[in-house]
Amino acid sequence: MAETRKAEEIFKEFKEHSIAEFFKKNRQMLGYSGKIRSLVTVVHELVTNSLDACEEAGMLPNIEVKIKQIGEEKYSIAVLDNGPGIPKNYVGKALAVILAGTKFHRYVQQRGQQGIGAAGCTLFSQITTGKQMFVKSSTGAGKAYSCNVSIDTVHNKPIVSNLQDISENFRGLDVEGEFADVKYENSDHGVYEYLRRTALSNPHAEIRFTDPEGKESTFVRAAQTMPERPKPTKPHPLGLAVNDILEYAHRTESRKLGAFLVENFSRVTPNKVAELKEFAKNVDFEKDPHTLTWSDAEELIKAFNSVKWISPDGTQIKPIGEEQIKVALKNILDPEFMSVVERKPAVFKGGIPFIVEAAVAFGGTAGKKTDEGYSGTILRFANRVPLLFDSGSCAITVGARDIQWKRYSMDLETQPISVLVNVSSVHIPYSGVGKESIAQEEEIVDEIKLAVMEAARGVQRYVSGKLRLHNEENRYKTIMRYTKQLAQDLSEITGKDRKVLEKEIEKLVAKHYPKVMEHENGPDEGKRGKEESDAEDPDE
């Protein structure tokens, strides 16, 4: 008979673990789940931090990424920027504490959300090579220093060593580390493609990249204006759950429920509170919100869904912008034609507002070349950040592929088409901590489909006209192959000069195909109408 153990004995082994120790054993949750993906994740986290820092300081970002191979599946990665730098007394907390930073506690749109990014890189370097990260920073005015940082994983505390002032005259941050169990690959899921897409969604940034073979690439800044900085916002009542209201209520400083609703949620006014009272008659709007019960919150939710609301305040969400997307697409893909759409703000669960942007680019270097010809590509972004992995389960992929493309005279499988979708929000519902896939929230998928369909309609006229023109050209060429023989036969019947008859027949045929003649004699049709607004329909 098996020996039984008392609860006291079992719970002697009960221990608390730090969040750093947890992620040390579960690094795949941070995006470090494959050799290629792990390398991209390091670059992604450090580049994202640089973009955020530069924008917070109001500086056009200049970012340099250098990767060197120092062993088998072992690389050094350095990311340098011209941002504000990190004050000396914050460097450990910023780069070596999991779930610490300036982002997690703010209800504002931002690239990173969890406060894991840079510290995750420090941890990954530490557990794969045993090395510390090297940091060089300057906040300007000659206040530069260098140091090494690592993490005490047992206590989730930073370890800063070799801290010293240096005399170098620069401003910004230089972070360098060594990483093992990683692999560089020049593919659709590699670092180069990640940086290319970053330049596409951040045309105000200039990015220089040196790959392990020493090849240098520069993604030139296409826009000279900084994007507007997002401002903190409040959750919208539509989409809130019972637990959401209770959490806000228990944290508020408001003393009355009515005031709590006005102060904590978007679009709630005293007049709207009066409307809510008509639908939530069992709720005392004068009570202390800290005493709110589950049944009270349930009744409030029903009341929220019974009144009419103004759409969420989209001014607090800053998408890429239609003009910026056009500039970026022209700079990176140089398409024959493009159509860009920005949807109005919507909300998903939790009352969180979001905006979907979509663009469909046709021709140029859009899509992807294959052995059979071309195939379309879906470029996924969340708050301007490229998403390269976990595409199959992403709301963007599902929304974009759930469209009947043939209705729009296009085929995503065989044509040079790039579909760009960017979701902007104060909170992106990622399906994993690795932040590579957006959860399939029904409201988000629906908005993505509507945005892509609207952009596809903008391209449809151009593509349909191009196909009609192609068919007309084929018919014209077929008829022209027989003009000489027809002129010869008519010459023998009528006795008229064959060359004269041939020219007359060619004029007659050309008269019936004016668009073909315009295309052959005029400017290159493929370069006309870079944007929907100044395009001509070939059928008009």
pLDDT at residue 3 is higher than 70: no
Mean pLDDT of 43-72: 93
Say whether pLDDT at 102 is over 50.
no
Higher pLDDT, 528 or 235: 235
* pLDDT for residue 46: 94
Q: Residue 117 has which token pair? A: 């990014």
d(CA 303, CA 477): 68
Q: Under a CB-based contact definition with an 8 Å cutoff, are residues 47 and 198 in contact?
A: yes
Q: Give 69's pLDDT tier (boundaries 50, 70, 90).
A: very high
What would the mean pLDDT of 109-113 be, rounded to a whole number?
59
pLDDT-based confidence at 537, cuts 50/70/90?
Answer: very low
| Average pLDDT rounded to a whole number, residues 328-342 | 93
> pLDDT band at residue 75, thresholds of 50, 70 and 90?
very high
Among the four given CATH numbers 1.10.3470, 1.10.8, 1.10.20, 1.20.5, the one describing domain 242-304: 1.10.8
Mean pLDDT in the chain?
84
Give buried/exposed letters for 159-188 (b at 16+ CB in 10 A, else e): ebeeeeeeeeebbbbbbbbbbbbbbbeeee
pLDDT greater than 70 at residue 535: no
Q: State the pLDDT at residue 143.
A: 82
Give DSSP secondary structure letters for 511-540.
HH-HHHHHHHHSS-GGGS-SBGGG---TT-
% the chain with pLDDT above 70: 82
How, if at all, do strands 74-81 and 172-180 pair? antiparallel
CATH number of the domain at 19-219, please?
3.30.565.10
CB 177 within 8 A of CB 77: yes
pLDDT at 104 over 50: no
Residue 536: strand pairing partners: none
Describe the crossing of helices 442-480 and 498-512 by its angle, rounded to 10 degrees.
Answer: 160
Q: Which long-range contacts (CB under 8 A, 24 or more apart) does 279-283 make?
A: 279/303, 279/306, 279/307, 283/257
Average pLDDT over residues 27-32: 65
Tell me how far apart the alpha carbons of residues 80 and 148 are, in angstroms, rounded to a whole number. 16
Looking at residue 531, its pLDDT comes to 47
Confidence of residue 105 (pLDDT cuts 50, 70, 90): very low
Tell me the pLDDT band of 175, cut-offs 50, 70 and 90: very high
In this prediction, residue 2 carries a pLDDT of: 55
Distance from the first to the final alpha carbon of the chain: 90
Give mean pLDDT, residues 16-30: 58
Q: What is the DSSP letter of 414?
A: T
Q: Is the pLDDT of residue 532 over 50?
A: no
pLDDT given for residue 494 in this prediction? 85
Does residue 10 have a pLDDT over 60?
Answer: no
Please report the pLDDT score of residue 266 as a whole number. 84
* pLDDT exceeds cutoff 80 at 193: yes
* Whether 197 contacts 381, CB under 8 Å: yes
Give the amino acid at 371: D
491's CB contacts (< 8 A; 6+ apart) are 497, 498, 501
**What are 449-504's pLDDT values in tens digits?**
999 999 999 888 876 666 665 666 677 677 778 788 887 878 878 878 888 777 88
Domain 317-455 listed as CATH 3.30.230.10: yes
Q: Which token pair is 70?
A: 């120092």
Tokens of 532: 């929907």
What pLDDT score does 20 carry? 53
Tens digits of per-residue pLDDT, 342-377? 998 888 876 678 999 999 999 999 999 888 888 999
Of 60-64, 74-78, 514-518, least confident by mean pLDDT is 514-518
Per-residue pLDDT at 1 exceeds 70: no
CA distance linking residue 97 with residue 150, whole number of Å: 9
Rounded to an integer, the average pLDDT of 176-181 is 94
What pLDDT is attached to residue 447? 96
Residue that the structure tokens 């073979």 belong to = 213
Tokens linked to 40: 């991209």
What's the pLDDT score for residue 397? 96
CB proximity list for 433: less than 8 A, separation 6 or greater:
29, 30, 31, 114, 116
Strand partners, 66: 78, 210
- pLDDT band for position 197 (50/70/90)? very high
Quick one: pLDDT at residue 443? 93
Task: Please check the confidence at residue 27 and state whether its pLDDT lies above 80.
Answer: no
| pLDDT level of residue 114 (50, 70, 90 thresholds) | very low
Query: Does position 239 have pLDDT exceeding 90, yes or no?
Result: no
- DSSP character string of 335-357: -SEEEEEEPPPEEETTTEEEEEE
| Position 31 confidence tier, pLDDT thresholds 50, 70, 90 | low
Predicted local confidence at residue 96, as pLDDT: 84
- Segment 305-313 shows an average pLDDT of 82
* Beta-carbon contacts of residue 90 (< 8 Å; ≥ 6 apart): none
